Amino acid sequence: MSSRPKVKVGDVVSVPISEKETAFIQVLVKRSILYVAAFSKLYTSPPDLDEVTRDKFILSGWTMDAKIYHGKWKIIGNSPPRDWEMLKKEYTVGFEGETWVQSFDGELERVATKGDIERLFPKSSYSPAMLEDAIRAFHRIEPWCSDFDDLVVQP
């Protein structure tokens, strides 16, 4: 019987997207849930870890480790995350009957302005299956859904 994989910051994880294609994500933050980013390329054969991690990020968001735990997503290696500070987002959250801006690190920064509410997404997490769907949609394998908008990495 195999033990549960121990997820660490920097882990690069394979995410099957179709019978022939695999995407890769990297764990950037590990708390009670994971903050991950998806790399842009899809692969039909196992790539070199360095090749994967030289790629750019296309999607990022909070998700759970369920598919890693159950062996559907496999950790292929570990590499220090590169150039990901730009992926740290602010969010809107409800607190004491008001909408607030929350930092990436979870600090309440201020009561949200109308501009904040228009510009920022509510803080949320995505199931592993929804993250897979978003990767497929990004690559036009499935239709895009507006629920994925918050995952898109802004240039």
What pTM value is reported for the model?
A: 0.91
Span 88-134, pLDDT tens digits: 999 999 999 999 999 999 999 999 999 999 999 999 999 999 999 99
**pLDDT band at residue 135 using 50, 70 and 90 as cut-offs:** very high
Q: pLDDT tens for residues 23-38? A: 999 999 999 999 999 9
Task: Give tens-digit pLDDT for 66-99.
Answer: 999 999 999 999 999 998 988 999 999 999 999 9
For residue 116, count other CB atoms closer than 10 A to its CB: 17
> What whole-number distance in Å separates Cα of residue 92 and Cα of residue 140?
29
Q: Is the pLDDT of residue 2 over 80?
A: no
* pLDDT in the model for residue 155: 74
Q: What is the pLDDT of residue 4?
A: 81
Tens digit of each residue's pLDDT (9 = 90 or more) over 36-56: 999 999 999 999 999 999 999
At residue 83, the pLDDT reads 86
In whole numbers, what is the pLDDT of the chain averaged over residues? 94
Which of helix, strand or coil describes residue 151?
helix
Rg (CA), the chain: 16
Residue 109 vs residues 26, 93, 101, 144: alpha-carbon distances, Å: 28, 11, 6, 32
Closest CA to 15 of 50, 79, 59: 59
102's CB contacts (< 8 A; 6+ apart) are: 90, 91, 92, 93, 108, 109, 123
Looking at residue 56, its pLDDT comes to: 96
Q: For residues 2 and 130, which has the higher predicted lDDT (pLDDT)? A: 130
Measured in degrees and rounded to the nearest 5, phi and psi for residue 116 equal -60, -45
Please report, for residues 33, 45, 61, 87, 99, the alpha-carbon distance to residue 90 in angstroms, rounded to integers and kept in the order given: 17, 36, 12, 10, 13
